[in-house]
Amino acid sequence: MKNDPLLSALAPSERERRSLSELRRILNAPGLLRASLIQMKKRCGKPYCRCAKAKRHWHLSWYMGQSQEGRPRMKYIPSELLPEIQLWVRRYQEARKLLDEVSNENWNKIIRRTGKKR
């Protein structure tokens, strides 16, 4: 069984091993978030604030957006949480990229094994 050609053809490549190792590192770290970060300008609603007079004075605020079950949703992000949430979103994007790499490597292995390019 150790010298089985099918198993050796499907053994993980160096690139796949590196991708899986990096993926494990990301998944073991706290925080992973599938979302988009959106910066918006809004009025605060106070009648005496400068934002009530002109659109150029509207306040900047951050939101995270996500589609869930086909419906969009957004949530305000307080400025003190922004760096942490940015990190979580970046980790998710990295994990997604690594999963794609592993999937492509496995696809190519099967193509090489079967000799078909479809």
* pLDDT digit string, tens, across residues 41-90: 999 889 999 999 999 999 999 999 999 999 999 999 999 999 999 999 99
For 17, the 3-state DSSP assignment is helix
* pTM assigned to the model: 0.75
For 9, the 3-state DSSP assignment is helix
Q: Which helix (H) or strand (E) holds 101?
A: helix 82-114
Nearest-5° Cα angle at 40, 34 to 41? 165
Asked if 26 contacts 98 with a C-beta cutoff of 8 angstroms, the reply is yes
Model confidence band, residue 9 (pLDDT cutoffs 50, 70, 90): low
Asked if 42 contacts 58 with a C-beta cutoff of 8 angstroms, the reply is yes
Structural domain count, the chain: 1
Q: Which domain holds residue 35?
A: 5-114
